[in-house]
């Protein structure tokens, strides 16, 4: 009986997925890095607006820079949250049906959260 002379790389080809692991890794790192200055801006805004009335908040967000930075904060934070929960779901939910349901729920929740926050920021920036 002859034993096949195959390298470990040849034996591993075709057995695993090569889809998106590195892309997911870098997206999470980039959103995390983007969140550093955006979170500083968010905290500065919250401290600055603490105790302010509705008119002051509307006035603050009526300027395009604070409104845009707040929207970027929401988008980067929501995307980072979605990526993080995706990793948790994929690692710790082993039943395929529940995993798919949880991943879809993760996407829907993140989209709802992000769109609701962006709608509120746009409404504030337009004077409402």
Q: What is the pLDDT of residues 70-83, one digit of tens each?
A: 999 999 999 999 99
- CB-count exposure of residue 80 (10 Å: 0-12, 13-18, 19+): buried
Q: Give the residue with greater pLDDT, 9 vs 105.
A: 105
Q: Which CATH class is domain 22-125?
A: mainly alpha
Around Cβ 19, how many Cβ atoms within 10 Å?
8
Task: Name the pTM for this structure.
Answer: 0.81
Give the residue-averaged pLDDT of 98-121. Answer: 98
Q: Is the pLDDT of residue 11 over 70?
A: no
For helices 64-92 and 21-49, the axis angle rounded to 10 degrees is: 140
pLDDT band at 19, cuts 50/70/90?
Answer: low
Half-sphere exposure of 46 (CA within 13 A, CB side): 8
Nearest Cα residue to 86 out of 72, 73, 100: 100
- Give pLDDT, residue 2: 65
């Amino acid at each position: 009986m002859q034993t096949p002379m195959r390298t470990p790389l040849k034996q591993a080809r075709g057995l695993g997925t090569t889809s998106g692991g590195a892309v997911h890794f870098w997206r999470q790192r980039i959103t995390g890095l983007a969140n550093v200055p955006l979170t500083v801006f968010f905290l500065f805004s919250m401290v600055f607006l603490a105790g302010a009335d509705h008119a002051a908040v509307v006035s603050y967000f009526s300027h395009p820079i604070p409104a845009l930075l707040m929207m970027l904060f929401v988008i980067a934070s929501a995307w980072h949250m979605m990526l993080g929960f995706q990793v948790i779901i994929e690692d710790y939910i082993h039943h395929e049906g529940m995993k798919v349901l949880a991943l879809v729920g993760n996407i829907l929740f993140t989209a709802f959260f992000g769109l609701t926050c962006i709608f509120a920021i746009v409404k504030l920036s337009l004077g409402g």
